[in-house]
Amino acid sequence: MKAVAGLLAALTLLSGCGVKPTDYPLAAGQANAVQAPLDVDPDHPFVVMTFSGGGSRAAALAAAVVRRLNDLHYTAGGESRALSQDIAVVSSVSGGSVYAADLGLNGPAHAASFMQRVQDYDGIGWLTRRFLNPFTWLSLQFESETRIAVLQEMIEDLLQTKATMAALNKPSGQLTLLNATDMVAGQVFTFDRQTLDDVCMDYDRVPVSLGVTASAAFPFAFTPVLLHNDSYLQPACPGQRNPSLPYLATLQSVSGPYANLESYRTARYRQSLRDEVVVEQGSGDKVPPYRNPVYLRLVDGGVADNSGLTALRRALLQTGAPADIGRLAAQSRLRHLVVIAVNARSDPKSDLDNSTQYTTILTQANAISGTLVDSASSYSAAVFQDFIKLLINDRDTLVLQDGQTQANFAVYPISIDFDQLPNATAAERQQQEAVKSIATSWTLKPGDVKLLDAAAGELLWRHPCFRLLVSDIGLQGQAEAPAIPGLRCPVEPPVQIPAKSRRPPA
């Protein structure tokens, strides 16, 4: 702990005089490839995952869950298939983004190797050595770099890659959403093709490590990632941004902010990223962006939402977007929607609970930042739960009222959260406390990954919605915990289709 505190103090003192923004502008005449709609086989589950923040603890827990999916098989089309092959969308934050990047680059089969790497990797030691190195000080002072550049180097060392985003989010492949927070706008900033196109960046040249670093740039310990928004280059973005991005109608119509305030604010943010003028319907008034972010300061994605659920929900909801589940349902491609939300949230015991000691500003800042992160994440989890319920209602309406039987699908929301570990006995409470006490750090203690791995298996197999999935699609695998008697998955199963409704849509 003292080493971490010392490192934080050293980090705070070290900073460059100037700051060099990161910039990968689209060249003249160049355009980003558009992410193609996900091609989902209805005979395979559509698996979407979120990986929360929490340093190496979060990265290891996410990998441990995916490792389980490698070992779970079902039969489709006469062939045995691992559930991990069906991971279609991953949305991640901070420490979770480290593994999300590894998953996107190396595939699910690499999960066990990644876990070993994270167990062995001393990230705090690496950072400390770099910050004690006089060459680092010179680099910070004379090359206009900031502390965040050092974190990016560590991420590259940990992931052992200098790959660019071209290797991630291939136009027709799995969708990986690395999420940061725009420090000024308070919005989720996702390193996907659409958002980087909005800021006129050449997606394929952006290093994966930059997205991971922005996602994990914990405020105060690290300076924000500073991006130049090339939409504001004069006279305009030199490249050709993709024109058909349907966000404007919300801003053009007087009912936009009333139809969906969150969607309106997201659209307004997007307008500011693209530096576009909106022509209002009716009046014809030209409305400029509400702010002009020539530079974007990106900090840890956990500041806006430490669960990754916000970006996932938006990806699944956006009509015409690659992972739009409305489209998948309408096209008969969706039968089993599996949502696995891996949350490495930790709320270890605090000395403050039993102390009257003076509360320093540092202690307050530390506690409040943790509380705010948890609060924002709880909100996004509640919104996501509502989203699932509304989706189920709409499914029932389509199937029962419209006779669209192809839109009948099952949803399996599976949360992986330490609070769901059993804690009835002293031994169980000790086990729960042990995983919850794993610090949010880039260095783990010996045995931490083993603890997280065991917790991942137990949490997955205890979950009633996972159990339902096992039975519904005939998953074969070694159960790591008994089912909880009498517990059922709280999401309504697919509707029973009455004979009279079994007709194609008119």
Partner 1 sequence: MAIVRVRFDGGNVPVVRGAIPPNADMPISNPTQTGFTTNQGIIVAEDEYCFGLDTSMPYTPLWQTVQAVDGVPAVITFRKKGP
Contacting range for partner 1; rule: CB under 8 A; set: 7-15, 163-171, 286-294, 323-331:
323-331
Positions 20 through 39 that interact with partner 1 (CB under 8 A): 37
Nearer to partner 1 by Cβ, of 253 and 432: the residue is 253
Contacting range for partner 1; rule: CB under 8 A; set: 361-369, 396-404, 427-435, 454-462:
396-404
**Rounded to whole angstroms, what are the CA distances from 230 to 224, 244, 309?**
18, 19, 28
State the angle between helix axes of 448-462 and 55-70 in degrees (0 to 180), rounded to the nearest 10: 50
Nearer to partner 1 by Cβ, of 326 and 457: the residue is 326
**Rounded to whole angstroms, what are the CA distances from 226 to 82, 95, 297?**
40, 20, 5
The token duo for 156 is 């590259």
From 10, 166, 233, 248, residue interacting with partner 1 (rule: CB under 8 A) = 248
Say whether 401 sits in a helix, a strand or coil. coil
Shortest Å distance, C-beta 199 to partner 1: 19
Nearer to partner 1 by Cβ, of 217 and 325: the residue is 325
Nearer to partner 1 by Cβ, of 2 and 286: the residue is 286
Q: Is 331 in the site for partner 1 (CB under 8 A)?
A: yes
Contacting range for partner 1; rule: CB under 8 A; set: 9-17, 163-171, 238-246, 436-444:
238-246
Q: CA-CA distance, 53 to 57, in Å (whole number)?
A: 8
Q: CA-CA distance, 206 to 228, in Å (whole number)?
A: 12
Nearer to partner 1 by Cβ, of 127 and 391: the residue is 391
Nearer to partner 1 by Cβ, of 225 and 267: the residue is 267
Q: CA-CA distance, 75 to 82, in Å (whole number)?
A: 9
Positions 34 through 93 that interact with partner 1 (CB under 8 A): 37
Nearer to partner 1 by Cβ, of 38 and 72: the residue is 38
Shortest Å distance, C-beta 389 to partner 1: 9
**Among candidates 312, 316, 314, which has minimal Cα distance to 341?**
312
Q: Please check whether residue 349 is in contact with residue 434, taking contact to mean a CB–CB distance below 8 angstroms.
A: no
> Per the omega criterion (within 30 degrees of 0), is the bond before 235 cis?
yes
Q: Please check whether residue 159 is in contact with residue 101, taking contact to mean a CB–CB distance below 8 angstroms.
A: yes
The token duo for 98 is 């480290």
Nearer to partner 1 by Cβ, of 78 and 243: the residue is 243
Q: Is 395 in the site for partner 1 (CB under 8 A)?
A: yes
DSSP E strands in 294-446: the ranges are 295-300, 336-343, 410-417
| Sequential DSSP letters for 260-321 | -HHHHHHHHHHHHHHT--EE-TTT--EE--SS--SEEEEEEGGGT-SSSHHHHHHHHHSTTS
Nearer to partner 1 by Cβ, of 260 and 359: the residue is 260
Q: Is 320 in the site for partner 1 (CB under 8 A)?
A: yes
Positions 173 through 192 that interact with partner 1 (CB under 8 A): none
Shortest Å distance, C-beta 385 to partner 1: 13
Q: Is 390 in the site for partner 1 (CB under 8 A)?
A: yes
From 112, 327, 379, 432, residue interacting with partner 1 (rule: CB under 8 A) = 327
Contacting range for partner 1; rule: CB under 8 A; set: 58-66, 87-95, 247-255, 431-439:
247-255
Say whether 33 sits in a helix, a strand or coil. coil
Q: Is 319 in the site for partner 1 (CB under 8 A)?
A: yes
The token duo for 432 is 């729960």
Q: Is 318 in the site for partner 1 (CB under 8 A)?
A: yes
Q: CA-CA distance, 195 to 413, in Å (whole number)?
A: 27
Q: Is 404 in the site for partner 1 (CB under 8 A)?
A: yes
Q: Is 284 in the site for partner 1 (CB under 8 A)?
A: yes
Q: Is 502 in the site for partner 1 (CB under 8 A)?
A: no
* Rg from Cα positions in the chain: 23
Q: Is 259 in the site for partner 1 (CB under 8 A)?
A: yes
Q: Is 252 in the site for partner 1 (CB under 8 A)?
A: yes
Contacting range for partner 1; rule: CB under 8 A; set: 5-13, 86-94, 321-329, 443-451:
321-329
The token duo for 20 is 């060099």
From 155, 329, 456, 469, residue interacting with partner 1 (rule: CB under 8 A) = 329
- Which residues have CB under 8 Å from 402's CB, separation 6+? 505
Q: Is 501 in the site for partner 1 (CB under 8 A)?
A: no
The secondary element (H helix, E strand) that includes residue 46 is: strand 46-51
Q: Is 244 in the site for partner 1 (CB under 8 A)?
A: yes
Q: Please check whether residue 453 is in contact with residue 64, taking contact to mean a CB–CB distance below 8 angstroms.
A: yes
Shortest Å distance, C-beta 472 to partner 1: 22
| Sequential DSSP letters for 145-205 | --HHHHHHHHHHHHHT---BGGGSS-TTS-EEEEEEEETTT--EEE-SHHHHHHTTB-GGG
Shortest Å distance, C-beta 407 to partner 1: 8
Residues in touch with partner 1 (CB under 8 A): 37, 243-246, 248-250, 252-253, 255-256, 259-260, 263, 279, 281, 284, 317-320, 324-327, 329-331, 387, 390-391, 393-395, 397-398, 401-402, 404, 407, 505-506
